Chains A and B, each alone.
Chain A
């Protein structure tokens, strides 16, 4: 396995203490992360350090038998990691679409989603999240990924455009925004309501208008 695979969790020069701290952190996050951290570490050519880690594992707060938290490395995920770290985008996309995710553990799919997100492959991440939602209905992390990344709810709302004076406020911004560089401003009906260094100050100044859609609030860049 490529030594970069585990670099986001532990480096090849990590001490046993660092490895154990990583495992402790994984333990605090959840089961999938335990599995994944273990996967990364066992996949790393640590040599003696793996043995040290395995010995040290007995001293962690994990109550699972070691064979449960040290799964065999899945070839599919290790290949995905390899492609991701090598920025071999086409290979990454092709492999992720061809993996039979129903034969993979949930943490592998979760990791694939994260790798896709990190590579700016958002559409692929959405697709993988949809797979996760269907294949692993009991996996909290994958369900959360699907909830956040997939699907859509659209709602049409009758607009009260007659009372909304955004046009005048847009005009004000075009004409005067340049005078307030770096400030937060609130504009309503084409008039400046408030200006301050922080949004909180503007919020205090304009009160309920902070929640009125007739008010335009923006930071002048």
Chain B
């Protein structure tokens, strides 16, 4: 139960809320905010809220399975820094939905970085929701006491 959902909906701050995990599945308990999202018509996916990351990043195997390609994307000349490693790739827009436990889901036309990747290559990073690619386009608030994220459209 998100204690503040009614108040935050009444003042038009939030449309929905969800409980989050404090660790990525399989990881040690930590101070992370791991939320449930969906891309296009995917199942619920785990993703870390990362205000230090500019763009959203998802496992390339997942991106391939969802049929997302970079044909319509923007390919910068040069590599981007993804958690300390430089990757070449394409930036694309795709609908990313924050899945509410209470209130309404919120779908954002997010910017996702697709690193160049060949099937069979390993990928060891978790999924991330970044600031400029997603979070800057909504309102959000975190209640660490109840492990709840509130989110709403601008």
Contact = CB atoms under 8 A, between A and B. Distances in A.
Interface of A: 8, 111, 113-115, 117-118, 120, 122-123, 126, 141, 144-145, 147-149, 151-159, 161, 164, 166-167, 169-170, 173-174, 177-178, 180-181, 185-186, 198-200, 203, 209-221
B25 A218 contact: yes
A118 B101 contact: no
A4 B27 CA distance: 42
B42 A211 contact: yes
Contacts of B26: 177-178, 180-181, 220-221
Nearest to A215: B43
A145 B109 CA distance: 15
Given A159-B16, A170-B36, 11 more contacts: A114-B77, A144-B73, A148-B73, A155-B106, A156-B15, A159-B103, A174-B23, A177-B26, A216-B44, A218-B25, A220-B25
Interface residues of B, number: 60
A216 B21 CA distance: 13
B153 A154 contact: yes
Interface of B: 15-16, 18-19, 21, 23-27, 36, 38, 41-46, 54-55, 59, 61-62, 65, 72-74, 76-81, 91-93, 95, 97, 99-109, 111, 124, 126, 130-133, 137-138, 153-154
Given A114-B78, A148-B73, A213-B44, A166 B101 contact: yes
Given A159-B104, A221-B27, A122 B43 contact: no
A43 to B, nearest CB: 16
A198 B65 CA distance: 10
A42 B108 CA distance: 44
Given A198-B61, A211-B41, A149 B81 contact: no
Nearest to B24: A221
B21 A167 contact: no
Given A154-B108, A167-B19, A181-B26, A212 B36 contact: no
A144 B71 CA distance: 11
